[in-house]
Amino acid sequence: MEKEQHEQYEYARKRLKQKKGLYFHFVLLILGSIFMFISNHFAIFGITSNWCIWVITFWFFLFILHFIKVFITDRFMNKNWERDQIDRLVAKQKHKIDQLQNQIEEDSSKNPQ
- pLDDT single digits (tens) 13-46: 988 999 999 999 999 999 999 998 888 887 766 6
Q: Are 11 and 79 in contact (CB under 8 A)?
A: yes
Which stretches within 43-78 are classed as H helix? 51-68, 74-76
**65 and 100 housed in the same domain:** no
**88 and 112 housed in the same domain:** yes
CA distance 9 to 15: 10
**82 and 30 housed in the same domain:** no
The alpha carbon of 86 is separated from its chain's Cα centroid by a whole number of angstroms, namely 18
**85 and 71 housed in the same domain:** no
**55 and 88 housed in the same domain:** no
Phi, psi of 112 (to 5 degrees): -75, 140
Say what the pLDDT of residue 85 is.
86
Whether this model's pTM surpasses 0.85? no
Say what the pLDDT of residue 26 is.
97
Say what the pLDDT of residue 81 is.
79
**99 and 110 housed in the same domain:** yes
**59 and 100 housed in the same domain:** no
The parent domain of residue 23 ranges over 1-76
DSSP label of 77: S
CA distance 70 to 79: 14
Q: Are 48 and 74 in contact (CB under 8 A)?
A: no
**69 and 111 housed in the same domain:** no
Count up the domains in the chain and report the number.
Answer: 2
